[in-house]
Structure 1
């Protein structure tokens, strides 16, 4: 396959990532992000999410190399042979979630989330939520520390640590997972079709305040949060052959 040119290198603020960027730019050059054929992100998973959000307007896939900690969305870091790796890389396409959060003041905040949209208690007492799916109330009251809706790509992140299921890429489902559910006892959530529209209503926002987060973007004092897949936005990630998201999700379940 032809060797890839016009690479834009982006790096997190850590010294390790910045140093790697300097060496890679010296070796392969640096293209402007707007005209790049491929964007290479150097950092951890948090920086990968930041890069995907920040380059949505660019028609170029993103290839990550791990210069951070977890690196689930990243490839192994190696300086040599990069153009060949990029030419042979496998592409995964991901639709994010759209969050529409309404605050007690009436302000409406929208955000996109590649991993998950989560609601978390913002006070000392457990939260009380009502959950609706496609306009129908499915749970009148959930007493918990929080709840989240995640994509398959995000199912090994916060969702997994909250004992939610790992979702195969391409499964066309979303996971709704509770955090520390008190009532119903030990309720951990549900699997929903990708086209489902989920709504959380905070039942006692004055006494039991909640905040919402979409990939780290926080909204405090919410009274309701709507979550749905956003098919009009498609993120493109590149992985080394045999190490794509599908393989990583499978491997995660047997380790």
Structure 2
């Protein structure tokens, strides 16, 4: 029985060219009818695809038509059906972000990589950090802070000198961005079921924005972040090139 494949592509020329070639070779069905969804683009497009396909049961197999492609497989038009049949599945639980802005509006978003808080003015942010209802840091003065999943630990988290987390590790990375006080504080490792809360101190003087996988909320008062265990993103990788191997390899480059 042949696989029913739904192809989705970013607007980049190279991705659109790949889309036309693959649809000609393998046909195309809607995501609702698909056994597998193939995403053509870079990591940003892969994240958008996972978010938009969260209610579809089919797993997502990415092929890199972008730059970094950490979440993607190598692009090749030949032998796609066999690659999909042999692919290894990884399960990723996203983060749930609840943020309240200073006007009292509540915003809820999901993040596969990380939820980050960033200063939105010339002065450093002042944040109070709580874990599971207990204040752990009364004042963190910094350019920002983030909470990253294992899948997202090699993205913004790694650039901010946070740790790389193995896939399957039941931990989250809480990482400071350019911490000023406490000086050089880089963050902490937390259980994956922890609830992290940031309260913005002096928000009128030191405004802060929140970002969940590039979905931004301006002028926030507080943010709560936790793992959303009820949502399971299914991602396919070629054998020997899954997230576990990529995370290990990244630490030796």
Distance 1:5 1:169 in 2: 28
C-alpha separation in 2, matches of 1:32 and 1:190: 43
Tell me which residue corresponds to 1:250: 248
Equivalent in the alignment of 2:184: 186
Q: Deviations along 1:28-84, whole A, 9 cap, x unmatched?
A: 000111110000000000000000000011100000000001000000000000000
5+ residue gaps, structure 2, are none
Superposed CA deviations along residues 113-157 of structure 1, whole A, max 9, x for unmatched, are: 000000000000000000000000000000000000000000000
Task: Say which SS state the counterpart of residue 99 (structure 2) adopts.
Answer: strand
For normalisation by structure 1, the TM-score amounts to: 0.99
Q: How many pairs are equivalent?
A: 253
Q: 2:29 aligns with which of 4, 28, 31?
A: 31
Aligned equivalents of 1:20, 1:212: Cα separation in 2: 35
Q: Does 1:7 align with 2:8?
A: no
Gap runs ≥5 in structure 1:
none
Length-normalised TM-score, structure 2: 0.99
- State the SS of the aligned residue for 1:112: strand
**RMSD (Å), alpha carbons:** 0.6
Aligned pairs for 1:114-125 (under 5 A) are: 114-125=112-123
Shift of 1:254: 0.6
Q: State the distance in 1 between where 2:96 and 2:33 align.
A: 27
Matched, 1:170 2:154: no
Residue of structure 1 in register with 2:237 after alignment: 239
Question: Quick one: which of 203, 206, 215 aligns to 1:217?
Answer: 215
**1:113 lines up with 2:95 in the alignment:** no
Q: Secondary structure at the match of 1:178?
A: strand
Distance 1:234 1:33 in 2: 17
What residue in structure 2 maps to residue 127 of structure 1? 125
* Cα deviation code 1:83-136 (max 9, x no counterpart): 000000000000000000000000000000000000000000000000000000
The DSSP-based 3-state class of the residue aligned with 2:45 is helix
Q: Distance in 2 between matches of 1:57 and 1:36?
A: 13
3-state SS of the aligned residue for 1:159? helix
In the alignment, which residue of structure 2 is the partner of 1:57? 55
Match of 1:142 among 135, 140, 143: 140
Residue 19 (structure 1) aligned with residue 20 (structure 2)? no
Match of 1:96 in 2: 94
Return the offset for 1:228. 0.1
How far is the alpha carbon of 1:5 from its aligned partner? 1.2
| Residues in 2 aligned to 1:237 and 1:5: alpha-carbon distance in whole angstroms | 16
**C-alpha distance in 2 between matches for 1:165 and 1:204:** 29
Give 3-state SS (helix, strand or coil) of 1:100's partner.
strand
The DSSP-based 3-state class of the residue aligned with 1:48 is helix
